[in-house]
Amino acid sequence: MKSQSPAADIASNPERFHLWRRIYSRLGKYWKAVAVAILLVSISAATQPTLAVIMKPLLDEGFTGAKPYYVWAIPLAVIGLMLLRGVTSYGSSYLLAWVANNMLLGIRRDMFDRLLGMSDEEYKRGDTGRLLNRFTIDAGNVTAYATDVVTVLVRETLVVLALLGVLIYMSWQLTLIVLVVLPASVYVASLFIRRLRRINRDTISMNAELTRVVQESIEGQRVIKLFDGYERESGRFGYVNGRLRRFAMRAASADAALSPLSQFFIALSVAAVIAVALYQANQGTLTVGSFAAFMAALGQIFDPVKRLTKIASSMQRMLTAAESVFTLVDSKPEADDGTREFEEPIEGRIEFRNVGHRFEGGRANVLEDINLVVEPGSTVAFVGRSGSGKTTLVNTIPRFVVPSSGQVLIDGCDVRDIKLKSLRRQLALVSQDVVMFDGSIAENVGYGALDEATRDDIRDALRAADLLDFVDSLPDGMDTQVGENASQLSGGQRQRLAIARALIKNAPILILDEATSALDNESERQVQASLERLMAGRTTLVIAHRLSTVQKADRIVVLDSGRIVEQGRHEELLAQGGVYAGLYRMQFRDE
């Protein structure tokens, strides 16, 4: 099996060299701290061979009584060396930890910025488990191993070189034996590098899968209980958990094999050294002190050599984790090619002009030749069977979906020419899937005004959403913590919180995406009243399955297979007896 050193492997692979360069360019931002840490590491490394050198005068002159002051001088020297080693070791460890944590801070900030900038389609395609894994595990591995590699390479290389100097000084003949054995040991250890790289890659992927399975089990715990999914979920978890164990055991096996192999080569070299040393002692060319110093240095050299060989596995883990991290950092951000900004306030006139769309990899268009004008201040409802294109059409307005053909215009401006921030400032959304953040009621409602809202503004929004009496009845009022995704509130209360958030934004265009479909009749009536106040004076686009909620709309647009097949007021469409009338009769009969 052909193998090569880690440095040669990286140099011969441009992609891995690029990863290496990117990691250490981030480390280079803190070069002053790194330089001081390397200096301290070097001082700490220099103390190690000194302890071996002391053995020669101690045995040759100390025990013979030739130099009586050695009685106190050598113990003091040992104490001084150990104190120096302890101080420099602490200082270097602290500085490198500071560098690693600052690197981690920067990497996670870059990852999160790119995460927020991802397009809507990227989010849909994304693997949540893998994304979370990059933040929690991969980013930490990159920074931890980056500083660890620097420390080990500098410290252990200096220690090995210094100890080799001691060995050569004491006996070049014995050192020659060591220099023959050491490369063989390094070569054998390097055979495991490629295997460890594959295992590390598989482990990272499986860790992401484990995160996903656990997350789904937490979010779907009620479904699991109601549908008796214990065995299925336990089976999924057991499979992933078992695979992780197998990968861990393969890595442990490769790591553990290094120790007995190293010990075997150590035994070979020590046996050869003892044989030659005994011969030299008999010839009078080697003293007891020189032999003791040589053996002390030899005993110390194998650990740093072993750490240097094992650093290869740390390099592979670092590069594999960096590959995962920089995949996110380098991911394509949401396109924002707009150059114009709206002059506020806008009228809110929306026009769909020959709009068509096909999702990437799709076999057919989900929208086909849509032409429609929504006048300012009017309410237009989009209805149709599931998959008819309602949500896709409305999502072209905030550019969550970019049409494959045609134009979407607001006040005569193509939305693609408008900067995303300016465009989305004009829009407010209330959907069936209410998203709330872990914080207070006031923070969640004020989110719609980007923290510019006063407490009076928040109270006015809560009052308009028919939620103020409920909030005032809580012990902490508006400062009540809502929990993760407002889990402590009912569905209707969460919906009205979302309405209050949309109210406080005061955007001229409002999108209602199945805003009441998940509510019971009583909650729906309360929320509908709040919605009517929210819709007043705004251009409103309503996506609805419940046709009873759109009867008052100025116009109802019926879509089927991505095309507009009917449009008009409720009474007009019923009188036509077409698709809308069929949907209405079917829903009325079901209810």
pTM above 0.85, yes or no: no
Parse the chain into domains and list their residue ranges: 9-329, 346-424+539-591, 427-506
Q: What mean pLDDT do residues 569-591 have?
A: 82
Rounded distance, CA 430 to CA 207, Å? 35
CB 430 within 8 A of CB 495: yes
Task: Using CB atoms within 10 Å of the CB of residue 474, give its burial: 0 to 12 exposed, 13 to 18 middle, 19+ buried.
Answer: exposed
pLDDT tens for 439-471 read 888 988 888 776 678 888 889 888 888 888 889
Nearest residue to 27 (alpha-carbon basis) of 110, 114, 96: 96
Alpha-carbon span 496 to 516, nearest angstrom = 10
Nearest to 447 by CA among 399, 498, 396: 498
The domain 9-329 having CATH identifier 1.20.1560.10: the answer here is: yes
- Residue 406's pLDDT is 93
CATH 3.40.50.300 fits 427-506, yes or no: yes
**Mean pLDDT over all residues of the chain?**
81
CB 310 within 8 A of CB 254: no
State the pLDDT at residue 211.
Answer: 81
- Angle value at C-alpha 161, between 155 and 165, nearest 5 degrees: 140
Please determine, looking at this structure, whether the domain spanning 346-424+539-591 carries the CATH number 3.40.50.300.
Answer: yes
Which pLDDT value is given to residue 3? 43
Per-residue pLDDT tens over the stretch 262-287 = 677 767 777 777 777 777 777 666 77
Return the bridge partners of 350, or none: 374, 410
Alpha helices in 171-220 (DSSP H): 172-190, 193-219
Taking 60 as the threshold, does the pLDDT of residue 568 lie above it?
yes
Output the 3-class SS for 94-109.
HHHHHHHHHHHHHHHH
Question: What does the pLDDT look like over 65-76, one tens digit per residue?
Answer: 666 776 777 788
What digits encode the pLDDT tens for the residues 284-331? 667 777 777 777 777 777 778 777 777 777 787 888 888 888 888 888
Confidence band for 589, pLDDT divided at 50, 70 and 90: low
Helix (H) or strand (E) holding 301: helix 288-329
379, 493, 398: which is closest to 445 by C-alpha?
493
Which residue, among 263, 300, 26, has the nearest Cα to 158 in the 3D structure?
A: 300
Residue 584 neighbours by CB under 8 Å, 6+ apart: 547, 573, 574
Quick: pLDDT tens for 31-64: 899 889 889 988 888 887 777 777 777 766 666 5
Contacts of 578 (CB under 8 A, 6+ apart): 558, 565, 566
| Coil/strand/helix, residue 498 | helix
Highest mean pLDDT among 173-182, 244-253, 444-453, 571-580: 571-580
383-394 tens-digit pLDDT: 988 888 999 999
Say what the pLDDT of residue 518 is. 58
Q: What's phi and psi for 169, nearest 5 deg? A: -65, -40
Q: Name the one residue in this structure whose structure tokens are 């929208």.
A: 367
pLDDT band at 1, cuts 50/70/90? very low
Checking if the pLDDT of 400 tops 80, the result is yes
* φ and ψ of 236, to 5 deg: -60, -45
CATH topology of 346-424+539-591 equal to that of 427-506? yes
Burial of residue 160 (number of CB atoms within 10 Å: 0-12, 13-18, 19+): buried
CA separation for the pair 575, 539 (Å, rounded): 26
How many residues are present in the chain?
Answer: 591
